[in-house]
Amino acid sequence: MPELGIRFRDLLSEAASRLRLAGVADPRREAMRIWTGLFGDAVLWGDRQVDAQNAASFQAAIERRSGGEPLAHVTGSAGFRHLSLRCDRRALIPRPETEGLVDLLLQRLQSGIVADIGTGSGCIALSLAREGAFTEIVAVDRSPDALALARENCEMVGTSSVRLVRGDLCEPLHPGSLDALISNPPYLTTSEYVALDWSVRDWEPEIALAGGEDGLEATTRLLDGARRAVRPGGWLFVEVDCSRAPRVALQARELGWQDVTVQVDLFGRERYLLARRSDTR
């Protein structure tokens, strides 16, 4: 005798209860998002029967989330601006704050050649490809796993303007080749990384989060390397930790960057460093 299914409404209720016991905020909403990620719009199911195989797959995903795995990993996707991108442990989960960094670049230029340093999932590079008219976007990362994920996202989005390059920060870039450079580098101190909530620290790559003892190891090298890669008059856009934004701005000025400003994110925190390369340094 074949196994009987379960009503979707009952399955969802059980899933929400399991997530609630695990301490997940807004458990019903997350249960619906997990279902949608697996099988399509949850709203359409109502009192329909779910077959045993799909019910088991859904319950397994709920157990993953109950065990602390990030929602984006359980569903396999994350939204970023106008895109839905593949997401897993190979790269940092795209954050809303980083969307603001893309806005700042697009407000200032829409064409030319741009490099996205530390591309991770490719969220910045692909947003620029979708929303701008850039000749080329060079997406650099030193992690082969992250680049593999970015390649999958490029294929899914369907773009030919993003060129993926393996390398450490600005090292693969030709001198004076860029109209702008954009980056969300790792910027947590060692102690901040150790103190991170386990739901982040245990699931997302340390290489994308930890920036050395002072949190500025990658950022300092980026500010210096970008001077060679960006043409005179070209732009620099960098996401920074709000507690160290003034220090990063001072470093940029000392290295000869002009028009250095710090902009706030959607939460009012000093999050973005903008600068232009001078004609002489």
Pick the CATH number of 77-276 from 3.40.50.150, 3.40.50.1820, 3.40.50.300, 3.40.50.620: 3.40.50.150
Going by C-alpha positions, the residue among 124, 120, 5, 116 that lies closest to residue 55 is 5
pTM: 0.91
pLDDT at residue 41, rounded to an integer = 74
**Dist. CA 247–CA 158, nearest whole Å:** 39
Residues with Cβ within 8 Å of residue 136, at least 6 apart in sequence: 113, 114, 161, 163
**Which position has the token pair 């994920």?**
149
- For the segment 152-205, what is each residue's pLDDT rounded down to a tens digit? 999 999 998 999 999 999 999 999 999 999 999 999 999 999 999 888 999 999
Q: How many CA atoms lie within 13 A of 115 on its CB side?
A: 32
Main-chain dihedrals φ then ψ at residue 44, nearest 5 degrees: -75, -10
- For the segment 21-73, what is each residue's pLDDT rounded down to a tens digit? 999 989 999 999 999 888 877 666 667 888 889 899 999 999 999 999 999 99
Q: How many CB atoms lie within 10 A of CB 149?
A: 23
In angstroms, the Cα distances linking 133 to 136, 162, 178 are 9, 12, 15
Going by C-alpha positions, the residue among 180, 141, 184, 169 that lies closest to residue 271 is 184
**Dist. CA 203–CA 70, nearest whole Å:** 7
* 93 token code pair: 């989960």
For the cut 90, the answer to whether the pLDDT of residue 230 exceeds it is yes
- 106, 132 contact by CB (below 8 A): yes
Strands 83-86, 162-166: parallel, antiparallel or unpaired by DSSP?
A: unpaired
- 231, 248 contact by CB (below 8 A): no
The DSSP symbol for 211 reads: -
- For the segment 104-142, what is each residue's pLDDT rounded down to a tens digit? 999 999 999 999 999 999 999 999 999 999 999 999 999
pLDDT at residue 19, rounded to an integer = 95
pLDDT at residue 2, rounded to an integer = 43
**Dist. CA 197–CA 230, nearest whole Å:** 36
Strands 162-166, 258-264: parallel, antiparallel or unpaired by DSSP?
A: unpaired
